[in-house]
Amino acid sequence: MTIEPDLPQKITSIHFIPKFCSQCGAPLKETFVSEEGRERLRCSKCGIIAYLNPFIVAGLIPQQSGKIFLLKRGIEPAKGTWTFPAGFVELGETVQEGAVRETKEETGLEVRCGELLGIYSFKNFPVVTIVYLGEVVGGSIQTCLESSEVKAVSPHEIPWDQLAFMSTKDALRDWAEHYGS
Ligand SMILES: [Zn+2]
């Protein structure tokens, strides 16, 4: 598998571009909105604007005894590469709660969410990834559909050439720089 972490990611279309107005069902059209000084998708009938915004992804780097837990992605995008647990924040939960939930789902580990490591955002990339540190407080390693393998690694064992996303690489670089000595 070829991994090109510095090139635009394969995830380019997680946003379904709407064709019709969610309020009245009429077609949406690219329209210059003078109040906002830019083109928007606007309803041709009722005038409502369909805003497209990035999704929020909550991530967490689980730590225990100087090591961190990484998982091998079991699904696309970036199947077969390594990352820390992360996923879309659901309505009804905080980003921290989402990070803890995703960690449990993808690794089996129970964590206490700690301090913010960083916020990773890229031009023309449809998600903003917010990454926390977390201490492992229980659970046991298990895999799921989304994670085919889970392992603890030392800072010098991070597989830099097999990481999933730009945000994965940047967050782990920040972690290694500040905590990985
Ligand atoms: Zn409409």
**Whole-number Å distance between alpha carbons of 104 and 178:** 25
Q: Report CA(23)–ligand 1 centroid distance (Å).
A: 5
Report helix, strand or coil for 127.
strand
Mean pLDDT of 29-57: 94
Which one, of 133, 115, 129, lies nearest residue 169 by Cα?
129
Residue 60 CA to residue 84 CA, distance in Å, equals 6
Return the CATH class of domain 9-50.
mainly beta
pLDDT of residue 5: 40
Span from the CA of 175 to the centroid of ligand 1 (angstroms): 46
Rounded to an integer, what distance in angstroms lies between the CA atom of residue 95 and that of residue 57? 8
- Cα of 16 vs centre of ligand 1, distance in Å, is 18
Q: How far is the CA of 87 from the centre of ligand 1 (A)?
A: 32
Contacts of 136 (CB under 8 A, 6+ apart): 62, 63, 64, 69, 109, 110, 111
pLDDT in tens, 119-178: 999 987 889 999 999 999 999 999 999 999 999 999 999 999 999 999 999 999 999 999
Residue type, 163: L
In terms of pLDDT, which residue wins out, 5 or 48? 48
Same fold across 9-50 and 55-179? no
State in Å: Cα 129 to ligand 1 middle: 32
Rg (CA), the chain: 19
pTM: 0.85
CA of 128 to the centre of ligand 1 (A): 29
Instruction: Return the CATH number of 55-179, one of 3.50.50.60, 3.90.79.10, 3.90.1150.150, 1.20.1440.230.
Output: 3.90.79.10
Instruction: Name the residue ranges covered by the structural domains of the chain.
Output: 9-50, 55-179
